[in-house]
Structure 1
């Protein structure tokens, strides 16, 4: 009978350590709202508000002057249903927040333009039509409320 290889044991330990580190990192990052650097995108006038919005957001139904939560989802995405419940709770808790749900299968070109790589992804759009924050994964209700409240205060001035 042969002795177990030390090299094989080391490989197994390293793979388990890397998988655990990746799982921790993913769990820590998933659903967290992050500020967004402004990307150069095509803009289009919003006649209803007299402002200029990114064309991709206008095509999705986002209006200037409102705080909007845009959810990108797909039909086979289980976390998308949980995200929709969270967004509905935020809309019920905070007056003035609008929701737009976008199917990436129907709007793949716009998803690419907005740099959407996984579902669910939530964009927090300020009243000026800029994407203020984004989250990939299911965001926490409290984090969303904290993100939209100052934007709503700016919209009411």
Structure 2
């Protein structure tokens, strides 16, 4: 009986650690390397919408994704509040070219573009307003 309890406790400990790691990665901004950002550029034609003069949040979402809806609301409100910032949401299942090109493994994934369409970084998972603002501040080309 004692061994079974230890196994259950071990499994629970691993699950808790895995959950904490997963949670810590939600909304975390990862900046693109300088050479990578220069190579990865998107145009209004790629997005089907105009770029923001200062920055664009390109959100890749899926239909059955609750964090996608909350992230879209956060980014849409932020874009409405900040001149020069745009939010474009696309369905990942309809834009597999972008999913493959940017190695999107989960939704929502948000690419942060500068005014010229260069990818300056990405956010993955549910994103808060503060995380989105931090992403803008950490991108010199997009800082307001």
| TM class, shorter-length | 0.7 to 0.9
TM-score (structure 1 length as normaliser):
0.76
Shift in Å, 1:81: 0.7
1:125 partnered with 2:113: yes
With structure 2 as the length reference, what TM-score do the two structures score?
0.82
The answer on whether the counterparts of 2:92 and 2:99 sit within 8 Å (CA) in structure 1 is yes
Which of 1 and 2 has greater Rg?
1
Residue 76 of structure 1 corresponds to which residue in structure 2?
64
Alignment of 1:60-139 (within 5 A): 60-61=47-48, 63=51, 66-139=54-127
1:34 matched to 2:39: no
RMSD: 2.6
2:46 matched to which residue of 1? 59
The 8 Å contact of residues 79 and 137 in structure 1, kept in 2 or not, is answered as yes
Asked whether the 8 Å contact 1:33–1:139 carries over to 2, the reply is no
Shift of 1:58: 4.7
Aligned partner of 2:141 in structure 1 is: 151
> Which digits, 9 at most, give the CA deviation of each residue in 1:111-151, with x for residues without a partner?
11111110011111112322112111121212322333553
CA distance in 1, matches of 2:68, 2:119: 20
Report the count of equivalent residues.
Answer: 140
Query: Does the 8 Å CA contact 1:96/1:152 hold for their aligned counterparts?
Result: no
**Shift of residue 7 of structure 1?**
2.4
Structure 2, unpaired ranges of 5+: none
Q: Structure 2: how far apart are the matches of 1:118 and 1:153?
A: 26
The whole-number CA distance in structure 1 between the counterparts of 2:38 and 2:93 is 21
Structure having the larger proportion of residues in helix: 2
Q: Which runs of 5+ in 1 are unaligned?
A: 44-52
